[in-house]
Chain A
Amino acid sequence: MALLEVSNVTMQFGGLTAIDNLSTRVEKGEIHAVIGPNGAGKTTLINVLTGVYPATSGSVSFEGVRIDGLRPYERVKLGMARTFQNLRVFPSLSVRENVTVSQFCRTTSGVVANTLRTRAVVREEARVRDRVDEALNFVGLADKAGWPSKSLPYGQQRLLEIARAMATEPKLLLLDEPGAGMTLQETQGLGVLIKRIRDRGITVLLIDHKMRLIMTVSDVVTVVNFGKKIAEDTPAAVQKDPEVVRAYLGARGLRT
């Protein structure tokens, strides 16, 4: 059983078909990349998978369970987390608070118990603190925990988004162009980070433009163009796929 199974998903906005009858499987423990030119429907795919848009047709299953009808926060509870192409940290919350609110979906005590601060709540809060520390350490932002998140530099806001997503304790992490706007050095660090995420047993679905990043970290690459899947294979095989080269990469060939 695949962790995530996408079957014949189509997404239309008015007359525009952003995703066209797309199917794919993300296996547990792999780093699965989705590439394609701008406007190919990559971000739309993530939005459909996380429940931002309901798909026009087709189905999505997570751990064998249909999740099409679930709201975004319900999917998070099942174990899906994401980052955003355009940064969406909570600007006026501190770095620590950003990660903390994302941990709340793993808490169980109710509002009343929370107000009364029962012993269970105190224990739970200690656990939340530990998880938040761990997530911040993981991406290397522990020393910035008290900063207002909007004052972080761009690349670190991306790391904060990853820490925030990790704090929801996901089984599947969807990274929407995590390398956008990063320097070469930062991108290399990101590649290492993505592998470390996978090494913790978290499956990664990665969308990016940066071929070097994709080709060095991915186990499987799905290529989409105009919302259609045109190839799916190992990075090495995809690079050589004549259809990919012709239809998507054009005469310039792959920039590696």
Chain B
Amino acid sequence: MDFLAEQLPIVVQQLIAGLAYGCIYGLVALGYNFIWNAVGIVNLAQGDFVMVGGYLYAASFVPVVASWLGPGSAGSSFWTALLLTAVGMVLVGMVSQRIVYYPLRASHPRTIMISTMALSIFLKNFAIVAWGTYPVATSGLFGQKWFRFDLFGLGTVTVLYQYVFILVFTAILLVVQSAFFSRTRLGRSMRAVAQDQLAASLMGINTPLIIAITFAYASILAGVAGVLLAPIFLVSQAMGSIGLKAYTASIVGGFGNVIGALVGGLLVGSIEVLSASYVSSVYKDAIVFVVLIAFLLLRPQGLFGKKVIGSL
């Protein structure tokens, strides 16, 4: 019992970090799912969109906006830079799909996926050319401020403010997204295209445009993930590797399933952090990928999904 009481604050502390990472994986996984639903491919550059978002925010917009707004404007420059990053990601998503997907849209999905793999390699090297090889540090809204609270007198929990911010921000984003998909014309058209592209086209929906918008939206989600992570991570090329974790989240939740993406993300984030603590910090990535392989073998439809995994 004493042991439990002693461990509890540490577990809570790590769980908060795990859930925060989980939210990020969930956002990126949602991007995988939207693109999968719309055009039936896995966009292998999704993780690199996170990196591009991080760089756009930390290396391009934050310095520029901060110099516009002058000192003491951390809050407004964060929101402005976030908005500019989202706009930038719309362009990234639209242009990428025009070059990587659209000319190949009639080809086998595997062909298109190779093409997204090429995009991934391109973006990594583009980042070196555009932003250099030095990882970029940025402070975001909260910098390195830590939030402490007492857990029922058992001990102090110490977490980064940024973790809490990620949880709140993601929750709000998901509510807005759900309203967007159920209320707005664009959102409902996107759902229709995701369910049946041909039928949607024959009901008068401009499907190529909706698909481009879907790519743009997936790209915004990745970009937002990059912005949220930037103050915790350093922004570097290596940020793209988050794509694999998010892909795991997608598989765990059920590829194509919106709720599944989030639940999968939260699970993967928690598994990662807790296994680092209680199994092995060295093998935590391996453990996550064992989960991935286990799901692919035993439950390829994931927790919430239908059986959709055909040929990847």
Contact = CB atoms under 8 A, between A and B. Distances in A.
Q: Do chains A and B touch in the complex (CB under 8 A)?
A: yes
Interface of A: 50, 52, 71-73, 76-77, 81-82, 84, 88-93, 97-98, 100-102, 104-107, 111, 114-115, 164-165, 168
Interface of B: 184-186, 188-189, 191-192, 195-196, 198-208
B192 A90 contact: yes
A166 to B, nearest CB: 11
A71 B203 CA distance: 12
Chain B, interface SS category = helix
A92 B195 contact: yes
Nearest to A125: B185
A100 B189 CA distance: 9
Contacts of B204: 73, 76-77, 81, 102, 104-106, 168
Contacts of A50: 202
Of B185, B186, B198, B201, most buried by chain A (CB within 10 Å of CB) is B185
Contacts of A91: 195
B31 to A, nearest CB: 19
A93 B202 contact: no
Contact of A73 (B186, B195, B196, B206): B206
A114 B180 CA distance: 11
Contacts, number: 73
B273 to A, nearest CB: 33
A171 to B, nearest CB: 13
Given A97-B191, A105-B204, 9 more contacts: A73-B204, A76-B202, A81-B202, A90-B200, A92-B195, A101-B189, A101-B203, A105-B205, A115-B184
A101 B192 contact: yes
B188 A73 contact: no
Contacts of B203: 73, 76, 81, 101-102, 105, 164-165, 168
Nearest to B206: A73
B167 to A, nearest CB: 26
Contacts of A164: 203
Contact of B188 (A76, A101, A111): A101
Contacts of B192: 90, 93, 98, 101
B195 A52 contact: no
A90 B207 contact: no
A101 B189 CA distance: 6
A104 B201 contact: no
17 contacts: A72-B201, A72-B202, A73-B201, A76-B202, A76-B204, A77-B204, A81-B204, A88-B196, A90-B195, A90-B196, A91-B195, A93-B188, A100-B188, A101-B200, A106-B204, A107-B185, A165-B203
Contacts of B207: 73
A8 B129 CA distance: 56
A13 to B, nearest CB: 14
B205 A73 contact: yes
B252 to A, nearest CB: 21
Chain A, interface SS category = helix
A77 B201 CA distance: 11
Contacts of A101: 188-189, 191-192, 200, 203, 205
A72 B206 CA distance: 9
A91 B191 CA distance: 10
A240 B130 CA distance: 77
Given A102-B203, A104-B205, A105-B204, A52 B191 contact: no
Nearest to B199: A88
Contacts of B201: 71-73
Nearest to B191: A93
A7 to B, nearest CB: 23
A45 B203 CA distance: 18
Given A101-B205, A111-B186, A88 B198 contact: yes
A71 B186 CA distance: 20
B204 to A, nearest CB: 3
Nearest to B202: A72
A131 to B, nearest CB: 13
Contacts of B206: 73
B271 to A, nearest CB: 29
B184 A90 contact: no
A107 B185 CA distance: 10
What are the 8 tightest A-B residue pairs by CB atom distance, in nearest-first order?
A: A105-B204, A76-B204, A88-B199, A102-B203, A72-B201, A90-B195, A101-B192, A72-B202
Contacts of B202: 50, 52, 72-73, 76, 81-82
A88 B199 CA distance: 6
A104 to B, nearest CB: 5
Contacts of A73: 201-207
Contacts of A77: 204
Nearest to A164: B203
A72 B196 CA distance: 14
A92 B192 CA distance: 9
B83 to A, nearest CB: 14
A88 B200 CA distance: 9
Of B191, B200, B203, most buried by chain A (CB within 10 Å of CB) is B203
Contacts of B186: 111, 114
Of A89, A91, A93, most buried by chain B (CB within 10 Å of CB) is A93
B220 to A, nearest CB: 14
